[in-house]
């Protein structure tokens, strides 16, 4: 059986680690307890967080015990960003987000068995901690010169950084110390942008209790141009279906670049590496078929939203272009698909025509161009060719009495919502 550390390395999931040989020995000696943390700085986690959740899942599948920390206290402070000071959210807002994110992360791990997961909240050990005790027991272990040398801090010294954000590293380090004491946690994982915070926790455990702990960081996931992966033209790709529909989530993976798609298959999916190599060979031979992207999208949508939503997203991708029946789409999936395609709103009281729809959706830049598309046989309503430019989009011609899929030619598709 492949050692879990070898599998992580083969998948490109190890950017940094403390003593690699010692970590390997610890993982080989038996089940260990490890943790990964998430700050509630938004009402949902996103694709970047997903990599950390799935890495935790890989370690659990290898027999180790995960602690999933949701930062009820660190979320009130905010990890410093190079761009500037964070806006602090209210305690009530953070408390609500803690509950939402705790529910999200719980879907990806198992809670039963000898290595069942535990969700923890760092507010439990910080809410009653006095300032004096915090400074005496934690602060004394942090040399200020080393804190000032941290990249994110040094980059903010000129523009300004509050004492609050400057002290964030102490709070996160204390989490590792507390989890080590309470649960025997000996490993923290996270993104490479958290490496300074993670290793500070390792050092705190050594200084405070004289114990050895480990750290492992995954690389930041980027597009081919080096920009952060997980953002589309419509914004951040969230895990919450209310913020990013399953269809839009599916499409975000379909749009993965050829140069990066196999890398994402290794890092995000649970497919065996041999199978990924086979997909890569097929993709290289016929890239236009987007075999790798379609498999990636299907795997990830199933992991996050389930098989039914994946099937609906796949059906929508076909149906919008006339390769499946639009009537078979659930209304929520149809609405999400047309919203992604750029749906326009028209009023039923105006008796809108196919020409109005072509112009409103931007598929034609003028009414005369729209009429020309109809006359040349290039305009479609719900995948049926339209020959009459004055055809009214009446309720009986609409899907769910509201929606119309408008297509020009084979590839240009949009939609209208008529109310």
pLDDT > 80? residue 151: no
Q: Are 194 and 259 found together in one domain?
A: no
Q: Are 311 and 376 found together in one domain?
A: no
35 is in an annotated binding site: yes
191's CB contacts (< 8 A; 6+ apart) are 48, 51, 52, 217, 218, 219, 220
Is residue 273 domain-resident? Answer: yes
**Across residues 303-312, what is the average pLDDT?**
96
pLDDT (0 to 100) of residue 1: 62
Is residue 90 domain-resident? Answer: yes
81 is in an annotated binding site: no
Q: How many domains does the chain have?
A: 3
pLDDT > 90? residue 120: yes
Q: Are 239 and 349 found together in one domain?
A: no
Q: Are 292 and 313 found together in one domain?
A: yes
Q: Are 55 and 181 found together in one domain?
A: yes
Q: Are 233 and 201 found together in one domain?
A: no
pLDDT (0 to 100) of residue 43: 95
Q: What is the mean pLDDT of the chain?
A: 92
361 close to 415: Cβ distance less than 8 angstroms: yes
pLDDT (0 to 100) of residue 152: 76
36 close to 188: Cβ distance less than 8 angstroms: yes
**Across residues 252-264, what is the average pLDDT?**
95
Euclidean distance between CA atoms 10 and 273, whole angstroms: 8
Is residue 332 domain-resident? Answer: no
Task: List the domain range (segments joined by +) for residue 233.
Answer: 222-325
User: Within a 10 A sphere around the Cβ of 67, how many other Cβ atoms?
Assistant: 21
DSSP of 221-262, one letter per residue?
PB-TTSPBTTEETTEE-BSSTTTS-HHHHHHHHHT--HHHHH
Distances (CA, A) of 149 to 82, 140, 144, 207, 327: 14, 17, 9, 19, 60
**Across residues 113-120, what is the average pLDDT?**
96
Out of 4-18, 67-81, 235-249, 282-296, pick the least confident: 67-81
54 close to 141: Cβ distance less than 8 angstroms: no
| Cβ-based burial of 71 (10 A; exposed 0-12, middle 13-18, buried ≥19) | buried
Euclidean distance between CA atoms 160 and 95, whole angstroms: 28
185 close to 35: Cβ distance less than 8 angstroms: yes
Is residue 33 domain-resident? Answer: yes
Is residue 335 domain-resident? Answer: no
Last residue in a domain, options 325, 355, 385: 325
The CATH number for 411's domain is 3.10.290.10
Last residue in a domain, options 298, 325, 352: 325
Out of 119-128, 164-173, 382-391, pick the least confident: 164-173
Euclidean distance between CA atoms 171 and 34, whole angstroms: 18
168 is in an annotated binding site: yes
Q: Are 293 and 395 found together in one domain?
A: no
Q: Are 269 and 150 found together in one domain?
A: no
**Across residues 242-252, what is the average pLDDT?**
94
pLDDT (0 to 100) of residue 161: 81
Nearest-10 crossing angle of helices 291-305, 307-319: 140
Euclidean distance between CA atoms 326 and 316, whole angstroms: 7
* Long-range CB contacts for residues 25-28, cutoff 8 Å, separation at least 24: 26/186, 26/187, 26/214, 27/3, 27/62, 27/64, 28/3
User: Within a 10 A sphere around the Cβ of 228, how many other Cβ atoms?
Assistant: 12
Q: Are 260 and 399 found together in one domain?
A: no
Q: Are 48 and 33 found together in one domain?
A: yes
Q: Are 240 and 211 found together in one domain?
A: no
Is residue 334 domain-resident? Answer: no
- Residue 386 in tokens: 């339209």
Is residue 333 domain-resident? Answer: no
Euclidean distance between CA atoms 140 and 131, whole angstroms: 13
Last residue in a domain, options 220, 251, 269: 220
264-302 per-position pLDDT tens digit: 999 999 999 999 999 999 999 999 999 999 999 999 999
The CATH number for 107's domain is 3.40.50.620
Bridge partners (DSSP) of residue 33 are 65, 185
- Residue 217 in tokens: 């960081």
Out of 140-149, 190-199, 270-279, 315-324, pick the least confident: 140-149
**Across residues 328-344, what is the average pLDDT?**
90
pLDDT > 80? residue 142: yes
389 close to 375: Cβ distance less than 8 angstroms: yes
Euclidean distance between CA atoms 245 and 250, whole angstroms: 9
Euclidean distance between CA atoms 73 and 122, whole angstroms: 6
Phi, psi of 290 (to 5 degrees): 50, 45
Q: Are 207 and 238 found together in one domain?
A: no
SS3 at position 69: strand
């Amino acid at each position: 059986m492949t050692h879990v550390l070898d599998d992580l390395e083969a998948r490109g999931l190890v950017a940094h680690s403390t003593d690699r040989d010692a970590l390997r020995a610890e993982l080989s000696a038996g089940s260990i307890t490890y943790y990964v943390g998430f700050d509630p700085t938004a009402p949902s986690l996103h694709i970047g967080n997903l990599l950390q959740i799935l890495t935790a899942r890989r370690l659990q599948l290898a027999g180790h015990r995960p602690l999933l920390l949701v930062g009820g206290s660190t979320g009130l402070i905010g990890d410093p960003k190079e761009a500037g000071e964070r806006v602090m959210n209210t305690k009530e807002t953070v408390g609500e987000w803690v509950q939402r994110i705790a529910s999200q992360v719980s879907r990806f791990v198992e809670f039963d068995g000898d290595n069942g997961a535990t969700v923890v909240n760092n507010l439990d050990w910080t809410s009653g901690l006095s300032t004096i005790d915090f400074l005496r027991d934690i602060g004394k272990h942090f040399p200020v010169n080393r804190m000032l040398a941290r990249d994110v801090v040094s980059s903010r010294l000129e523009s300004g950084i509050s004492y609050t954000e400057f002290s964030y590293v102490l709070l996160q380090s204390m989490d590792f110390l507390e989890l080590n004491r309470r649960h025997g946690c000996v490993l923290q994982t996270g993104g490479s942008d958290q490496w300074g915070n993670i290793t500070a926790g390792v050092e705190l455990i050594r200084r405070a209790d004289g114990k050895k702990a480990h750290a492992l960081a995954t690389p930041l996931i980027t597009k081919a141009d080096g920009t952060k992966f997980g953002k589309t033209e419509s914004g951040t790709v969230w895990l919450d279906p209310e913020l990013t529909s399953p269809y839009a989530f599916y499409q975000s993976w379909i749009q993965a670049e050829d140069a990066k798609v196999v890398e994402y298959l290794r890092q995000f999916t649970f497919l065996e590496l041999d199978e990924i190599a086979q997909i890569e060979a097929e993709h290289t031979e016929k890239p236009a078929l987007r075999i790798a992207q379609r498999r990636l999208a299907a795997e990830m949508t199933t992991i996050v939203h389930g098989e039914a939503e994946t099937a609906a997203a796949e059906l929508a991708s076909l149906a919008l272009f006339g390769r499946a029946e639009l009537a078979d789409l659930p209304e929520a999936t149809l609405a999400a698909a047309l919203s992604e395609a750029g749906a326009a709103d028209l009023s039923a009281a105006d008796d809108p025509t196919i020409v109005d729809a072509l112009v409103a959706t931007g598929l034609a830049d003028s009414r005369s161009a729209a009429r020309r598309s109809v006359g040349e046989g290039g305009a479609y309503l719900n995948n049926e060719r339209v020959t009459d430019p004055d055809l009214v989009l009446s309720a009986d011609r609409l899907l769910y009495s509201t929606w119309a899929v408008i297509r020009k030619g084979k590839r240009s598709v949009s939609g209208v919502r008529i109310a």
